[in-house]
């Protein structure tokens, strides 16, 4: 990968004019360049930390700029996560406003007073991840012509950001798909882990508290303290 691709994926809130000037200079002084879809694809794979390894910087300057972009990517990832949380909060507020129209049993499971319960959020995220993996499997099979098992395996390793690197998107259509799918899938997976910890840890802490309160204090316990 030559430097122009790195420059194309520098966050847009940076010096756009300088970016265009450097890109123009590099375009006319290097032996090869890459397409915009390659640049966006590289940016998505980098920001999501999937790192397939199919496109890599191959010059010292490109490696330095890639390193800077990775560090700046934390800010971009934070913003993407904020956007995702805002969308989820908007949907949650809409559901809470209309919760009285829900079935009583489903309402009791779905809501905790003025918000959606953590168990419901976790279950919803799991369903979304399953749908994303299924959609990724089907799309990868059709566009990249991979076997069904390979497509499923590729989808799971991508959404979970494992990214071993033996598979990657080769076609232009596949890369356009990956730009959107990878960012949404990895962000959802991260949120799912957050909701899992919010749901499980308080329950675990409560169980531990109950065990301590019910435990009979013995002489050996007092001696140990």
What CATH number did the domain enclosing 110 receive? 1.10.287.70
What is the span of the domain harbouring residue 56? 3-208
| Domains identified in the chain, total number | 1
Contact of 4 with 19, CB cutoff 8 Å: no
Question: SS3 of 223, please?
Answer: helix
Is 75 part of a structural domain of the chain? yes
Nearest-10 Cα torsion for 89, 185, 73, 33? -140
Chain-centroid distance of CA 127 in Å reads 15
Give the angle 25-31-35 at the CA atoms, nearest 5°: 75
Question: pLDDT by residue (tens digit) across 211-224?
Answer: 566 666 666 655 65
Is 219 part of a structural domain of the chain? no
Give pLDDT tens digits along the chain (225 positions): 444 444 344 444 444 454 454 454 444 433 445 688 888 898 888 888 888 888 888 788 888 888 888 888 777 777 777 777 777 778 778 877 887 788 888 878 788 777 777 778 778 778 888 898 999 999 999 999 999 999 999 999 998 888 788 889 999 999 999 999 988 888 888 777 777 777 666 665 555 566 566 666 666 655 655
- pTM of the model as a whole: 0.66
DSSP-derived letter for residue 14 is S
Question: pLDDT by residue (tens digit) across 74-121?
Answer: 777 777 777 777 777 787 788 778 877 888 888 787 887 777 777 787
Distance CA 25, CA 23 (A): 5
Is 107 part of a structural domain of the chain? yes
């Amino acid at each position: 990968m030559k430097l122009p691709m790195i420059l194309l994926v520098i966050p847009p809130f940076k010096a756009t004019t300088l970016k265009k000037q450097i890109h123009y200079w590099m375009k006319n002084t290097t032996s090869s360049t890459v397409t915009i879809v390659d640049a966006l694809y590289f940016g998505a794979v980098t920001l999501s930390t999937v790192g397939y390894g199919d496109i890599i910087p191959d010059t010292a300057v490109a490696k330095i700029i890639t390193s800077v972009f990775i560090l700046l990517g934390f800010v971009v990832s934070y913003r993407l996560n904020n956007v995702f949380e805002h969308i989820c909060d908007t949907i949650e507020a809409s559901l809470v406003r209309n919760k009285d129209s829900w079935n009583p049993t489903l309402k009791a499971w779905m809501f905790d007073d003025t918000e959606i319960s953590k168990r419901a959020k976790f279950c919803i995220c799991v369903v979304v991840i399953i749908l994303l993996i299924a959609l990724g499997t089907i799309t990868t099979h059709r566009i990249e012509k991979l076997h069904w098992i390979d497509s499923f395996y590729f989808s799971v390793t991508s959404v979970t950001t494992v990214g071993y690197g033996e598979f990657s998107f080769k076609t232009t259509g596949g890369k356009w798909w990956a730009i959107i799918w990878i960012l949404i899938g990895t962000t959802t997976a991260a949120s799912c882990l957050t909701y899992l910890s919010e749901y499980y840890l308080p329950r675990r802490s409560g169980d531990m508290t109950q065990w301590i309160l019910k435990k009979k204090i013995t002489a050996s316990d007092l001696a140990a303290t």
